[in-house]
Amino acid sequence: MADQDSLGPAEEPPSLADHKLRISQAASLLDPSERDAALISALRGVTAELEAAEEDHARATDRLETARELFDWATGALSGYSKTKNYEAAAPLEQSQGQCGRKRKGGGDSTFNDEQVARMKFTNPVEGPLSFPSPASGGGMTDAQIEQHKDAFYMKLCGVPYSELGTFTPPATMANLKTRAQLDEFIHIATHWDTGTDKLSVMDFRRQHKIFYTKMKNVKENIGRRTGHHVRDVVGSDGRKAFCQCGKNDESLVYISLEELYDAIFEVHCLMGHRGWNATKNFANFKYANIPLEQVRFFIETCPACLSKRMGRRGAEIV
């Protein structure tokens, strides 16, 4: 039996450029029979290439979906939110204190560090009153830095500083941005959707707010749409309500107003160790309904603590 060296190097499979050249040459033949035979031969080669590419695509798609599910599972476990799909549910933090807490030297008790406590506090209840973000403070920043950062964030997002948000109306192209007044109107509609008002019957009220027909549908009717909107009480607010929607896992996600947007992102970025864009966005996804990645990116790009870290790394690279 001849050894591998005597056979010479293995022939490499044709590339897409090779297939393109074969089709071009076959199509240019003048004799019809030769042209058809050459095109059929070229087609066989392309068919094999297509089948192989489809198999690779299917494997890559499965890998991508699995990686996404694992990523969601990991970030969900970090925030104390249990999510099940094809995997076992991540245990809530309060049930796994022995595993996630750090042991003190000389003792057997487990304690939580500040970041783990923040994650537990961040967990959003599905039912009952919910809490809104507190005014931004801490996070390794002084009060002066926070005020400067707040102005820089709103300037980058809206073109006006925080003090002038009262004069800003979000354009239709910024659909995620809702002012407090707009959300109060949504709360009014959702509250009276099934009852009507003193002046309008249920049907007349619904006709007046036709856009809400999709929003107020049961969430199970079409999970791909923004359905299942509802109203919830806010903790310690003397009757304040929050406008929410059901997420893909039936969780209750809060719409945050433009005026409170900075405090909300501050809660999931600065108080959790100034994490990156994706980590911050995934934490926000467990509580808020209307914070897209672009707003998170604007926040981090103007964050003084993150800017300082980046400058420090650049300085270290230069040295």
267-297: per-residue pLDDT in tens? 888 877 787 878 888 888 888 999 999 999 9
Long-range contacts from 308-317, C-beta under 8 angstroms, 24+ separation: 309/274
CA angle 130, 83, 178 (to 5 degrees): 40
Mean pLDDT of 129-133: 86
Higher per-residue confidence, 94 vs 302: 302
The confidence band for 117, taking pLDDT boundaries of 50, 70 and 90, is very low
Mean pLDDT of 220-231: 71
E strands, the chain, are 102-103, 110-111, 230-233, 241-246, 252-254
Q: What is the pLDDT of residue 201?
A: 93
- Min mean pLDDT across 42-51, 86-95, 301-310 is at 86-95
Q: In which element (H, E) is residue 71 found?
A: helix 32-78
Residue written as token pair 């990156």: 276
Mean pLDDT score across all residues of the chain? 76
The confidence band for 62, taking pLDDT boundaries of 50, 70 and 90, is low
CA angle 168, 294, 134 (to 5 degrees): 65
Higher per-residue confidence, 188 vs 46: 188
